[in-house]
Amino acid sequence: MARRYDPERRQRIIDAAIRVVGERGIAGLSHRAVAAAADVPLGSTTYHFATLDDLLVAALRQTNTALFTDLGQRVARIAPDADLAAELADLVGELLTEQRDRSVLEYEIYLTALRRAPVRPIAAESVDGMVDVLTPRTGAATARALVALIDGLSLQVLLTGRDYDREQARAMIARLLD
């Protein structure tokens, strides 16, 4: 039997892994689940990604790249004379409501990195990517402080189920910016 030429298979596997993680969490990621979601033979997932960590890293790296592209474009559109604290508070609110699934995945990366060394560089890229997006507007030190604040606020909302308080977030961000 001739081997089927399928140049998009690797990408379909990565996309399927992202869907599986979105639906089941990182703990639900398996070669078998991804193969089923990508509609490819099980051997294809292990051919392209020898270990589950290899697959997870590829999926998370793609997710991070998309996130930083989106956030970078959003921050770049903020007018120089706009209330940056209000704009960032709105952005965080959007990430916690309209893009909640994406935010949950982002924090799953952090938590997974505590136990899985291959994922640590992805978590570091996540933090550094956010800093890189904010640095042109705030400077590096303030950007790092903002990322820490945003992470803390986001985790509190996601973990407790409490509503996001935009005004409180705006006030805290404004303090860091002053």
**Comparing C-alpha atoms, which of 161, 146, 57 is closest to residue 100?**
161
Do 103 and 126 lie in one domain? The reply is yes
As given in the structure block, the two tokens for residue 96 are 């916690």
Q: SS3 for 75?
A: helix
pLDDT at 66: 86
Compute the half-sphere exposure of residue 65: CA atoms within 13 Å on the CB side of its CA. 7
Look up tokens 């921050």; give the residue: 75
Q: Judging by beta carbons within 10 Å of its beta carbon (0-12, 13-18, 19+), is residue 124 exposed, middle or buried?
A: exposed
Alpha-carbon distance 21 to 24, whole Å? Answer: 5
How many other CB atoms sit within 10 Å of the CB of residue 119?
21
Look up tokens 């990195």; give the residue: 113
Q: Domain holding 66: CATH number?
A: 1.10.357.10
Do 44 and 81 lie in one domain? The reply is no
| Per-run averaged pLDDT (10 residues), the chain, 178 residues | 74 94 89 96 94 91 87 91 96 92 81 87 90 95 96 94 96 96
Do 129 and 154 lie in one domain? The reply is yes
pLDDT at 3: 57
Do 148 and 170 lie in one domain? The reply is yes
Do 76 and 62 lie in one domain? The reply is yes
Do 112 and 71 lie in one domain? The reply is yes
Alpha-carbon distance 88 to 66, whole Å? Answer: 18
Do 166 and 101 lie in one domain? The reply is yes
What is the CA 23 to chain-centroid distance, rounded? 15
How many other CB atoms sit within 10 Å of the CB of residue 170?
20
pLDDT of 53-65, one tens digit each?
999 899 889 988 8
pLDDT at 152: 95
Look up tokens 């990621």; give the residue: 29
pLDDT at 2: 47
Alpha-carbon distance 73 to 170, whole Å? Answer: 20
Write down the mean pLDDT value for the chain: 91
User: 63 is in which domain, residue-wise?
Assistant: 55-177
User: CA torsion, points 127, 132, 138, 142, in degrees to nearest 10?
Assistant: 30
Q: Provide the angle, in degrees to the nearest 10, between the axes of the packed helices 84-96 and 140-160.
A: 40
Structural domains in the chain (count): 2
